[in-house]
Amino acid sequence: MSQPPVSSLVNHVVIVGGGSAGWLTAGVIAADHPALTVTLVESPDVAPIGVGEGTWPSMRDTLHRLGVSESAFFRECDAAFKQGSRFNGWRSGGGAEDYYFHPFVLPQGFGEADLVESWQRDVPGVPFADLVSFQPHLCVHGRAPKQPATPEFAAVANYGYHLDAGKFGVFLRKHCLEKLGVRYVPDHVTAVNSHDNGDIASLQTREHGALAGDLFIDCTGMQSLLLGRHYGVPLLHRKDILFNDSALAVQVPYERDDSPIASQTTSTAQRAGWIWDIGLPTRRGIGHVYSSAHTSDEQAEADLRAYIGKDDIPAPRKLTFQPGYREQFWHRNVVAIGLSAGFIEPLEASALALVEMSAAMVSDDLPATREAMDIVARRFNDAFTYRWERVIEFLKLHYVLSGRTDPRSTSDYWHDNRRAETIPARLQELLALWRHRPPSRLDFNRIEEVFPSASWQYVLYGMGFQPDRERITRRGSTGSAGGYFREAAELTRKMLRALPSNRELIDHIRLHGLQKI
């Protein structure tokens, strides 16, 4: 093959693989660059693997960026509102009182007053999130985050979504083809053709011949056809930090058609992992994530069935994964997005969020020429190495702070998670700092952090972390924390009176839709 000139223009983006990652990426690039040719090739022989049923509030901005109707999204993707996560049994496994919330709204007065010191001094018996935020109370009472008159994508309380990942991919494909002009090639890639300089020149397909492109985006899932298999970019394994490598997933119908729909993802700790519970309008998605080194598949399934409490459930679907991420995400003229870039575990639903961030950065910084691509690639690799490491540290925080000892277990899962050699050095340093002050912007100072410092506070204090009260500093503390606590309580009272239930609002959307912005 001939070698392309380094100044050749980037006019054609080829995305390999569909599903949520492929079609989200295609949609973002096509919506932002209507003059660009965007082609997505997807093998009809390979079923897409969903990268999760939970999203962050960022998905609202992404869907709006694509020009999607939120009402149509709810109707076609079996979607529901998500306002955060609830963690059961993570602190000690000590029964009904062992829970906390990681809500999506910032604490009242965040950055304006020393909420943590006042909480510790004045009302330590109240869970931190319950005191500083109205949103945990909305979740407990199953409330929606907005009213029927609130326009599409607008919010009374910050929210993301729960969704059917399979239906979501189909929904995005339809929108990309009908509204955004994406070219669709349903075909199987049989070979990769290279330029003399090592760039990919084209993809050889079974039915459509060679598909040439300037930039190729690998959304082929865990097989990582282009970045991993063709270029041999290795996966940096992180199982020494986060042990979970297996999951059993099942779909469970509601007892009644009008059963309440949970307003949060619920994560319940188990002897060697945890169980997710996600409420959609027509079913619950439930799965057990666990470490194969600490329990057997048979025991994991028994624990899953015990959690569900029903004998007549389908056989769970088994998933396995190697926790880690690619050494590079952008190599030559290939960038990996989604599972081809890596996967850790579904705790805190970071998978789709990383897809959104990746697609946005590729589109926002899309190189005009091949020469500029190397500059953009270096910046992309730096940004996402940082982001993956912050995700790993944030997830590890949940395990490090747990005091669980499970007498039912024959493994040392929870103890092993607390061993110092499994804790990243940066996280150890932060925990030492946080003995004397709360997490703040000083610790996470990039413009687009994956998890803001408020999220670290919610998990840190929800898990029972105790600062050294004698030496807590008061840097930048202004205002009265007590006033913000009362403000959160008053907002709770108002919103509980004014907001419908999650199911009531979803039923309204399905029948009448929402007002467009």
**Does residue 339 have a known ligand-binding role?**
yes
**Does residue 20 have a known ligand-binding role?**
yes
> Which ranges constitute the DSSP H helices of 77-155?
115-122, 128-132, 135-140
> Which ranges constitute the DSSP H helices of 313-369?
350-364
Length of the chain in residues, anyone? Answer: 517
**Is residue 261 within 8 Å of 163, Cβ to Cβ?**
no
Task: Round to whole Å and give the CA distance between 342 and 220.
Answer: 11
Within 13 Å and on the Cβ side, how many CA atoms surround 89? 17
The reply to whether 179 belongs to the active site is no
At 121, list the tokens: 């001094």
**Radius of gyration of the chain, Cα coordinates, nearest whole angstrom:** 23
Residue appearing with tokens 């639903």: 349
Of the candidates 181, 145, 166, which has an alpha carbon nearest to the alpha carbon of residue 70? Answer: 145
Task: Round to whole Å and give the CA distance between 427 and 456.
Answer: 11
**Does residue 351 have a known ligand-binding role?**
no
Give the DSSP per-residue string, 42-90. E-TTSPPPP--SB--THHHHHHHHHT--HHHHHHHTT-EEE-EEEEES-
Strand intervals (E) in 309-439: 317-320, 324-326, 330-331, 334-336, 342-343
CA 146 to chain centre: 22
At 30, list the tokens: 């096509």
**Is residue 262 within 8 Å of 268, Cβ to Cβ?**
no
DSSP state at residue 217: E
Which amino acid appears at position 166 of this protein? G
DSSP state at residue 178: H
**Does residue 82 have a known ligand-binding role?**
yes
**Does residue 476 have a known ligand-binding role?**
no
Burial profile 339-375: b = 16 or more Cβ within 10 angstroms, e = fewer? bbbbbbbbbbbbbbbbbbbbbbbbbeebbeebeebee
Task: Round to whole Å and give the CA distance between 48 and 479.
Answer: 51
Task: Round to whole Å and give the CA distance between 200 and 493.
Answer: 59
Task: Round to whole Å and give the CA distance between 439 and 441.
Answer: 7
Annotated binding residues, written as ranges, equal 18-21, 82, 189, 339, 348
Catalytic site positions: 82
Annotated binding residues for FAD, written as ranges, equal 18-21, 189, 339
Annotated binding residues for L-tryptophan, written as ranges, equal 348
